[in-house]
């Protein structure tokens, strides 16, 4: 039998636990806590988490302060607390969104009143790293001409938008609405980089063609995980973060960022400025057989099974040689890059991200070669076939490498081709 007093105590304890779960705690004076309070005054619901680290060496993110069950709402952020970037009517470059945002910041007196706090929570210029911010030296470190030109192209557009010389602009030039005296080029690039790596697309106002770009407070502090425990959605009024499974107190809350992007080392570096180290990375998009700079994201998929099917269009010796050429053509090896990364001499996190890209790209190529070699049934000797030797053989017989592949349905075509020669 329990005394009434202990029941009361139990009720009080439950109440205490419940109030401790609200974010932010009353004594929390951090800028993130101020932002969370602001989101709450706008009608947001933020409960059961804090901004922090799951472990001392973990990345700063969102950590559960109570247990969530599958389907529980963790964050509910109203669109009135979401910064909608200017609708460009097309998928604009980050610099174009930056141009409009900085225009509002400097010329619309109401803008800062609403958004200054949110803006001040964003990382500084040394904590973001996307196309706009690359130096020539960093571009060269990539050892990947296609990626270099993609990044350099975006950097150039950024400079053109800044100087008001972007040929496709259908808005007043930035140098005439804001100008260099208020915003120097490096700040413009930083703002562009922030927007490019952090905005979320949502369809709004019945527009289901082009997702409008938004910055979402609190939600943008959630880190990526390949197997996330929470997902993100919206119901027209709110952006919602819900638990996908039971999340225990103390566990980090994670989302899956764009899957076809973040899994590829080059696209992840390009869009987010970081690369996740994996035992079995996806291939870089630039190394996929049909990569085209006109549509770098075009064929990126959430699976990497190009070389599994013996009858597949990429199961050819020509493809095998192409991949080998990519791997062997690199100025450094995977082991050398890894040694640099782990040797403790490269401290700059941006250079480390570039090295991580190099290691992941080569690891994926190496594994793709092993897989394709097995699919083609290449023996050790054939795998060792030198590129020059292989090419010379093709030239001598007039066969294309693709014709050599053991693909029954193609043999007829190969014979025809030979007849013609
Ligand atoms: C608005 O804020 C930005 C940066 O937070 C600042 O540079 C700018 O001068 C502010 N604009 C006005 C009109 O005060
Ligand atoms: C803006 O840049 C363009 C192109 O360089 C130039 O023609 C124009 O005079 C500049 N405007 C101002 C206000 O500096």
Q: What is the pLDDT along the chain (421 residues), one digit of tens a residue?
A: 344 444 444 444 444 444 445 678 788 888 999 999 999 999 999 989 999 999 998 889 999 999 999 999 999 999 999 999 998 877 889 999 999 999 999 999 999 999 999 999 999 999 999 999 999 999 999 999 999 999 999 999 999 999 999 999 999 999 999 989 999 999 999 999 999 999 999 988 888 888 889 999 999 999 999 899 999 999 989 999 999 999 999 999 999 998 889 999 999 999 999 999 999 999 999 999 999 988 998 888 888 999 999 999 999 999 999 999 999 999 999 999 999 999 999 999 999 999 999 999 999 999 999 999 999 998 766 665 544 444 433 433 333 333 333 333 333 333 333 333 3
Q: Is the C-beta atom of 397 inside 6 A of ligand 1?
A: no
> C-alpha angle 248/254/255, rounded to 5°?
140
Q: Is the C-beta atom of 121 inside 6 A of ligand 1?
A: no
Q: Helix or strand or coil: residue 57?
A: coil
Name the β-bridge partners of 255: 224
- What is the Rg, in whole angstroms, of the alpha carbon atoms belonging to the chain? 26
Nearest ligand to residue 104 Cα: 1
Q: Is the C-beta atom of 106 inside 6 A of ligand 1?
A: yes
Residue 153 CB neighbour total at 10 angstroms? 13
Nearest ligand to residue 179 Cα: 2
Residue 111 Cα, ligand 1 centroid: separation in angstroms?
Answer: 9
> What are the CA-CA distances from residue 162 to residues 151, 192, 272 (Å)?
17, 10, 22
Minimum-distance ligand 1 atom for the alpha carbon of 109: 13
What pLDDT does 358 receive? 98
Name the β-bridge partners of 60: 53
Q: Rounded to an integer, what distance in angstroms lies between the CA atom of residue 244 and that of residue 74?
A: 11
Minimum-distance ligand 1 atom for the alpha carbon of 183: 7
Q: Helix or strand or coil: residue 283?
A: coil
Q: Is the C-beta atom of 119 inside 6 A of ligand 1?
A: yes
Q: Rounded to an integer, what distance in angstroms lies between the CA atom of residue 343 and that of residue 136?
A: 24
Residue 162 Cα, ligand 1 centroid: separation in angstroms?
Answer: 18
Nearest ligand to residue 163 Cα: 2
> What are the CA-CA distances from residue 10 to residues 20, 21, 47, 166 (Å)?
15, 17, 21, 66
Q: Is the C-beta atom of 108 inside 6 A of ligand 1?
A: no
Residue 165 Cα, ligand 2 centroid: separation in angstroms?
Answer: 8
Nearest ligand to residue 117 Cα: 1
Residue with CA at minimum distance from ligand 2 atom 13: 176
Q: Is the C-beta atom of 127 inside 6 A of ligand 1?
A: no
Q: Is the C-beta atom of 42 inside 6 A of ligand 1?
A: no
Residue 217 Cα, ligand 2 centroid: separation in angstroms?
Answer: 35
For the purposes of burial, counting CB atoms within 10 Å of the CB of 35, is it exposed (0-12), middle (13-18) or buried (19 or more)? buried
Minimum-distance ligand 1 atom for the alpha carbon of 119: 5
Nearest ligand to residue 102 Cα: 1
Minimum-distance ligand 2 atom for the alpha carbon of 163: 2
Pocket (CB within 6 angstroms of ligand 2)? 163-165, 173, 175-176
Q: Rounded to an integer, what distance in angstroms lies between the CA atom of residue 278 and that of residue 260?
A: 15
Residue 103 Cα, ligand 1 centroid: separation in angstroms?
Answer: 10
Q: Rounded to an integer, what distance in angstroms lies between the CA atom of residue 389 and that of residue 370?
A: 20
């Amino acid at each position: 039998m329990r005394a009434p007093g202990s029941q009361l105590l139990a009720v009080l304890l439950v109440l205490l636990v419940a109030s401790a779960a609200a974010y932010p705690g009353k004594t929390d004076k951090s800028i993130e806590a101020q932002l969370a309070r602001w989101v709450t005054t706008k009608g947001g619901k933020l409960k059961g988490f804090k901004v922090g680290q799951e472990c001392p060496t973990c990345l700063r993110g969102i950590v559960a302060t109570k247990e969530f069950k599958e389907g529980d709402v963790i964050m509910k952020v109203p669109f009135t607390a979401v910064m909608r970037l200017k609708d460009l009517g097309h998928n604009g470059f980050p610099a174009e969104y930056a141009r409009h945002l900085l225009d509002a910041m400097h010329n619309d007196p109401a803008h800062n009143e609403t958004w200054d706090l949110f803006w001040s929570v964003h990382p500084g210029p040394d904590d973001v790293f996307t196309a706009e911010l690359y130096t020539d030296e960093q571009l060269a470190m990539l050892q990947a001409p296609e990626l270099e030109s993609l990044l350099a192209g975006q950097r150039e557009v950024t400079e053109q938008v800044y100087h008001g010389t972007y040929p496709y602009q259908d808005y007043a030039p930035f140098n005439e609405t804001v100008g260099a005296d208020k915003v120097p080029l490096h700040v413009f690039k930083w703002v562009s980089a922030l927007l490019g790596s952090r905005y979320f697309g949502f369809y709004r106002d019945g527009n289901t063609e082009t997702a409008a770009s938004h910055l979402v407070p609190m939600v943008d502090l959630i880190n990526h995980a390949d197997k996330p425990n929470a997902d993100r959605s919206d119901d027209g009024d709110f952006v919602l973060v819900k638990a996908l499974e039971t999340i225990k107190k103390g566990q980090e809350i994670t989302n899956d960022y764009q899957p076809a992007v973040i899994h590829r080392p080059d696209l992840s570096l390009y869009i987010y400025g970081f690369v996740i180290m994996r035992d079995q990375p996806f291939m870089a998009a630039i190394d996929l057989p049909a990569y085209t700079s006109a549509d770098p994201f075009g064929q990126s998929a959430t699976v990497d099974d190009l070389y599994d099917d013996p009858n597949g269009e990429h199961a050819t010796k020509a493809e095998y040689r192409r991949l080998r050429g990519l791997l062997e053509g690199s100025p450094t090896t995977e082991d050398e890059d890894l040694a640099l990364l782990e040797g403790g001499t490269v401290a700059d996190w941006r250079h480390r991200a570039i090295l991580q890209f190099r290691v992941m790209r080569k690891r994926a190529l190496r594994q793709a070669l092993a897989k394709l070699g097995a699919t083609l049934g290449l023996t050790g000797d054939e795998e060792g076939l030198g590129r020059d030797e292989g090419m010379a053989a093709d030239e001598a017989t007039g066969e294309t490498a693709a014709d050599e592949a053991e693909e029954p349905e193609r043999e007829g075509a190969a014979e025809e081709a030979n007849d013609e020669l």
